[in-house]
Structure 1
Amino acid sequence: MSKKVLILGHSFVRRLEQFVINSVDSRVNENLNLDCDEVCVYYRGHSGASLQRIRALGISYVRELRPDITIIHALSNELCKRDRTVDAFFRELVDFVISLRYGESVKSVVILQTLHRLAPVRRIRYGVNVHWFNSRVDALNGRIANYLRNVDGAAFFRLSGFWAPSARATKYCDDGVHLNEQGNISYYNNIRAVVVSSLKSLENGG
């Protein structure tokens, strides 16, 4: 019986789904170019979604699909809010992970690293000081990575290909937030690596 993978999150997940649906590259498909007899991938991304909304919808999806692996990309939207602390977001995300692992019995929960933002090259509706925002991103990522080392069946995954200056110049849309086609190719490859690693871990009893 194939394993089920649920990819849950904000606009990055929704845009990734659209990217794979529209791609003409034979190496890119909705199932991450993995054997359908071994794994089945589901995308549930919602633009502008807060962690609260992702959690509410996510619990429903988990109960409906019963995934073996749930991958979460969240909190980029919340970190823009000056009236909320990084610590508050950290505690909310940890609580969500614990509820999935032990409340809903998801075998593997993976939190994806929150990405930095760039200064936009066009006017955007909701601007943010990118230096302030990125410092909050780093603080959150560090706390989550350290905490999840001690949670059985949960992991933090560092996204590669987005941090070098050359990557920043070629992989973001002009809003400085979302990923363009090249960015989504890197994002897709990262997601695929997460799934392959998680599947191997489950096979080994991890």
Structure 2
Amino acid sequence: MTLKVLILGHSFIRRFENFVSISSDHRVTPNLNLNSEELQIFYLGYGGASLAQIRAQGTRYVRNLRPDVVLLQAVSNDLCRRNTSVEDIFHELADFVIYFRDAEDVKKVVVLQTLHRIPPTRRIRFHVDTEWFNKIVDELNRRMSNYLQNVEGAAFFRLSGFWCPNNQRTAFLADGVHLNNQGNKKYYNNLRAVIVSLIKSINNDE
């Protein structure tokens, strides 16, 4: 059986799909250099989307595709809104995970850690206080990590290589939000690692 993996989310996913599609590096492929006879990877990313928009637009796609695994990178834009609490976003994200598992029968749902932002080095359209933003990112990540430890068929994955100042300076574009090529290579390695781990877990369960 060929496993289907859907990587779903906001502009990170749309930009990452473009990165893997045009890369000249033979080690970087849309299927993450994994066996395409055993695994198919699909991407669905919506630029600037909130979690509610991702859910509204992605649900039908999930229902038609019927993926075995969903990786979700989804709430960075929600956290920018000062009129929305971390508590609200946490509950909305947790509900989306349970929906995938129960209503759409997804075997494994993985919430990917929300990344910090860094101060931009060029003018951007929507300015966010990065110190404030990063504090609430940490709060949400902590809450999701703790919660998903007790949810069968779900997990929280911590992204590596993006947290110390030196790594951040080399991984992000001048907007301080999106990943550059070097950042996307790190993201690639993270996604590949979590998918390989999930394949082993699913095979052991069968």
Q: Structure 2 length normalisation: TM-score?
A: 0.98
Which amino acid in 1 is paired with 2:89?
F
Give the match for residue 25 of structure 1: 25
Give the match for residue 188 of structure 1: 188
How many Å apart are 1:56 and its aligned residue? 1.5
State the alpha-carbon separation in 1 of the partners of residues 45 and 133 from structure 2. Answer: 22
State the alpha-carbon separation in 2 of the partners of residues 204 and 150 from structure 1. Answer: 19
Give the match for residue 113 of structure 1: 113
State the alpha-carbon separation in 1 of the partners of residues 11 and 136 from structure 2. Answer: 19
Give the match for residue 139 of structure 2: 139
> Per the alignment, in what secondary structure is the counterpart of residue 28 of structure 2?
coil
How many Å apart are 1:50 and its aligned residue? 0.6
State the alpha-carbon separation in 2 of the partners of residues 32 and 57 from structure 1. Answer: 25
Q: What is the correspondence of 1:123-134 to structure 2 with a 5 Å cutoff? A: 123-134=123-134
State the alpha-carbon separation in 1 of the partners of residues 123 and 7 from structure 2. Answer: 30
State the alpha-carbon separation in 2 of the partners of residues 170 and 196 from structure 1. Answer: 26
Give the match for residue 16 of structure 1: 16
Query: RMSD between aligned alpha carbons?
Result: 0.8
State the alpha-carbon separation in 2 of the partners of residues 138 and 69 from structure 1. Answer: 25
> Per the alignment, in what secondary structure is the counterpart of residue 30 of structure 1?
coil
Which amino acid in 2 is paired with 1:144?
M
State the alpha-carbon separation in 2 of the partners of residues 105 and 50 from structure 1. Answer: 23
> Per the alignment, in what secondary structure is the counterpart of residue 118 of structure 2?
coil
Q: What is the correspondence of 1:14-163 to structure 2 with a 5 Å cutoff? A: 14-163=14-163
State the alpha-carbon separation in 2 of the partners of residues 154 and 61 from structure 1. Answer: 20
> Per the alignment, in what secondary structure is the counterpart of residue 155 of structure 1?
strand
Give the count of matched residue pairs. 206
How many Å apart are 1:92 and its aligned residue? 0.1
Instruction: Show structure 1 runs of 5+ residues with no match.
Output: none
How many Å apart are 1:58 and its aligned residue? 2.1
Stretches of 4+ moved more than 4 A in 1?
Answer: none
Query: Which deviations, in whole Å up to 9, do the C-alpha atoms of 1:8-56 show, x marking residues without a partner?
Result: 0000000000000110001110101000110000000010011001111
Query: Which deviations, in whole Å up to 9, do the C-alpha atoms of 1:51-94 show, x marking residues without a partner?
Result: 00111122111111110000000110010101010000000000
- The yes-or-no answer on 1:175 pairing with 2:169 is no
Query: Which deviations, in whole Å up to 9, do the C-alpha atoms of 1:139-164 show, x marking residues without a partner?
Result: 00000000000000100000000012
Query: Which deviations, in whole Å up to 9, do the C-alpha atoms of 1:155-193 show, x marking residues without a partner?
Result: 000000001221011010000000000000000111111
State the alpha-carbon separation in 1 of the partners of residues 32 and 65 from structure 2. Answer: 18
Instruction: Show structure 2 runs of 5+ residues with no match.
Output: none
State the alpha-carbon separation in 1 of the partners of residues 87 and 58 from structure 2. Answer: 22
Which amino acid in 1 is paired with 2:76?
S
How many Å apart are 1:204 and its aligned residue? 1.1
